[in-house]
Amino acid sequence: MPQSLTPLLRSRLLSELELLQQDILHYLAADHVAEYQQLHQQLQKHPTTHWPDLMKKWQTPELQEKSQRLELVQAALSQMDMGLYGLCSDCECRIERQLLMNDPARQRCAACETLYHEQLAE
């Protein structure tokens, strides 16, 4: 990963993280279910790294999708902190630069991504 690209991708990840947080809170606030109000309050008291765990009990498809994306974005950010960013989670080779530009939270290289989806489809 060329050094120059990382700060750009980091700022994209950080703004996506912020949007996701707002999106989740809006989603919970819009639905006037007592459980959601409780979850809404809980989330505001905890750091975002705890959110996916807290949301596990309330897995509607919408929340599940947001929670998974939140986890991915945070994983990519902590990989940046550890200097492991841009490495494929399956084969550990470098993820293609263009793919990271398209999705900075990407975890697999093109070959492993294809393999992964083939296995899912089986």
Which window, 9-17, 45-53, 64-72, 109-117, contacts Zn ion (CB under 5 A)? Answer: 109-117
Element spanning 5, H or E: helix 5-30
Alpha carbons 45 and 56: distance in angstroms, whole number:
16
In single-letter form, the type of residue at position 95 comes to I
Q: Which of 23, 90, 96, 103 binds Zn ion (CB under 5 A)?
A: 90
21 or 89: CB nearest Zn ion: 89
Query: From residue 48 to residue 87, what is the string marking binding to Zn ion with x (rule CB under 5 A)?
Result: ----------------------------------------
Alpha carbons 5 and 101: distance in angstroms, whole number:
9
Q: Which of 1, 87, 112, 115 binds Zn ion (CB under 5 A)?
A: 112
**In the structure, how many helices (H) and strands (E) does the chain have?**
6, 0
20 or 88: CB nearest Zn ion: 88
Residues in the chain: 122
Residues forming the site for Zn ion (CB under 5 A): 88, 90-91, 109, 112
